A and B are shown apart, each in its own frame.
Chain A
């Protein structure tokens, strides 16, 4: 059973529909108590502001439950803002710390057009089950204004993408994964990645 963290993120519906199409059982998780042993995997989706999301997760008692989940190295996938929250913080909301699972902070993308909106190439730098059966430099759909440009946790980086600089588009430590793009909106490649994560990661 995959738990989908529900804190009001706009893309939750799409993530759920993608897992349903792939045939993976899932359940929406709206508070900390619902994060229990009946769940095998946890997904934190997200679009929107870092501070708002961190605040909502705390308000719903989800923050400590997620921290505990990460500490126990249970299967986890952070999507877009869900990846960013795994880091120490963001320039977007300096007062609100992140989960601090990975080292580094999010910074604003330095490009003429921000948000970075559209399909961009994901260059895999470390082989992993997550990208099995997906060609290198495959296009995935992105929409974000902030990203992890700092690569202090270099050995954990799975993939990089360029847009006014190079940022981390996928990262992993143990069973904890994060992707900056939206697999639920990236066509067949995205569905393949979600299926890989559900079955093999």
Chain B
């Protein structure tokens, strides 16, 4: 049976790892390569690196990190943040990423998903959706959660998969860094609508939240940052707990 993946997320900005609280107030959390190695040894199923600086300098750091990590760690690596074009994707894949996540650029030019999936295969294209509550439902946001695209998140997810995205990374803007639990309703809505794996992100504070994202939210994987970086939870602890609840983990 397919195991539910636990994916540590390392935000990269000019050399160190950060985790934002509601996308603001950034706190340094250590050296990315050291952290990656630690998570690998603890049983991470995959690693995600996000360039949060969105400058040429932070992109250079991201590429260096991916390059270094891919020579010592042999599990899937996903890289993203500020990815705009086919050449950005190519550069990251060449550096050693197996997947590249795209957010704003895909909303600005949805055809990029089609072009990228044709060029590199759907398995390497992750559509990252920053979803924020707006009245009845959720909209997909751009530019680090600052601009409302006015597209319904669920419609955008379905469209993205049609265009060739092989996975959806679903971030809840409202829950990001709050430790109040995942937005289960959002997760379930998107997971039911698409035929590709959905990775839950934003809001985990306790072991129970992670279990609920999988059980109620129907997430295929969970992305974790601050909980792991600051040592509140460890990957073995999470996996043992999930196992005790009957969730298949590696």
List A residues at the B interface (Cβ < 8 Å). 10-11, 13-14, 17-18, 20-21, 47-49, 112-121, 139, 141, 143-144, 162-163, 184-188, 190-191
CA distance A48 to B5 in the complex (A): 22
CA distance A163 to B221 in the complex (A): 16
List B residues at the A interface (Cβ < 8 Å). 1-5, 40, 45, 70-72, 74-76, 93-94, 96, 98, 120-124, 166-167, 195-197, 220-221, 250
A13: B residues at CB distance < 8 A? 70, 93-94, 96
B221: A residues at CB distance < 8 A? 118
Task: Decide: A14 and B2 in contact? CB cutoff 8 A.
Answer: no
Task: Decide: A118 and B3 in contact? CB cutoff 8 A.
Answer: yes
Complex partner residue of B3 from A10, A11, A21, A119, CB under 8 angstroms: A119
Say whether, besides A14-B98, A21-B72, A112-B195, A187 and B2 are in contact (CB < 8 Å): no
Task: Decide: B40 and A10 in contact? CB cutoff 8 A.
Answer: no
A119: B residues at CB distance < 8 A? 2-3, 5, 45, 250
Complex partner residue of A115 from B74, B75, B196, B250, CB under 8 angstroms: B196
Cross-chain pairs A/B with CB under 8 angstroms, 27 sampled? A10-B98, A10-B124, A13-B70, A14-B70, A14-B74, A17-B74, A17-B96, A21-B71, A21-B74, A48-B123, A112-B195, A113-B197, A114-B195, A115-B196, A117-B166, A118-B3, A118-B5, A118-B45, A118-B221, A119-B3, A119-B5, A139-B250, A141-B75, A143-B76, A184-B74, A187-B74, A191-B74
Shortest 3 CB-CB distances between A and B: which pairs?
Answer: A48-B121, A139-B250, A119-B3
Task: Decide: A185 and B76 in contact? CB cutoff 8 A.
Answer: yes
B70: A residues at CB distance < 8 A? 13-14, 17
CA distance A113 to B167 in the complex (A): 10
A113: B residues at CB distance < 8 A? 195-197, 220
A187: B residues at CB distance < 8 A? 40, 74-75
Q: A151 to chain B: closest CB distance in Å?
A: 20
Q: Please classify the interface of chain A as helix (H, G, I), strand (E, B), loop, or mixed, using the class held by over half of its residues.
A: mixed
A143: B residues at CB distance < 8 A? 76, 123, 166
Complex partner residue of B166 from A49, A115, A120, CB under 8 angstroms: A115
Of chain B, the residue at the smallest CB distance from A142 is: B2
CA distance A139 to B167 in the complex (A): 20
Q: B69 to chain A: closest CB distance in Å?
A: 11
Say whether, besides A11-B98, A163-B2, A117 and B167 are in contact (CB < 8 Å): yes
Complex partner residue of B197 from A117, A139, A144, CB under 8 angstroms: A117
Task: Decide: A120 and B3 in contact? CB cutoff 8 A.
Answer: yes
B1: A residues at CB distance < 8 A? 120-121, 162
Say whether, besides A115-B123, A120-B1, A14 and B96 are in contact (CB < 8 Å): yes
A112: B residues at CB distance < 8 A? 195
CA distance A185 to B5 in the complex (A): 14
B45: A residues at CB distance < 8 A? 118-119
CA distance A111 to B167 in the complex (A): 15
Q: A120 to chain B: closest CB distance in Å?
A: 5
B197: A residues at CB distance < 8 A? 113, 117-118
Task: Decide: B195 and A185 in contact? CB cutoff 8 A.
Answer: no
CA distance A186 to B3 in the complex (A): 13
B166: A residues at CB distance < 8 A? 115, 117, 143
Task: Decide: B72 and A118 in contact? CB cutoff 8 A.
Answer: no
Of chain B, the residue at the smallest CB distance from A164 is: B2
Q: B29 to chain A: closest CB distance in Å?
A: 24
Task: Decide: B74 and A116 in contact? CB cutoff 8 A.
Answer: no
Of chain B, the residue at the smallest CB distance from A144 is: B123
Of chain B, the residue at the smallest CB distance from A22 is: B74
Residue among B71, B120, B166, B250 with the highest chain A CB neighbour number at 10 A? B250
CA distance A52 to B40 in the complex (A): 33
B2: A residues at CB distance < 8 A? 116, 118-120, 163
Task: Decide: A185 and B98 in contact? CB cutoff 8 A.
Answer: yes
Task: Decide: B94 and A47 in contact? CB cutoff 8 A.
Answer: no
Task: Decide: A49 and B121 in contact? CB cutoff 8 A.
Answer: yes
CA distance A49 to B70 in the complex (A): 24
CA distance A47 to B5 in the complex (A): 20
CA distance A75 to B4 in the complex (A): 35
Beyond the given A139-B3, A139-B250, A187-B74, could you list 18 further A-B residue pairs with CB under 8 A, ordered by the A residue number?
A13-B70, A13-B96, A14-B70, A14-B96, A14-B98, A20-B71, A47-B124, A48-B120, A48-B123, A49-B121, A113-B195, A113-B196, A113-B220, A115-B166, A118-B221, A119-B45, A184-B74, A190-B74
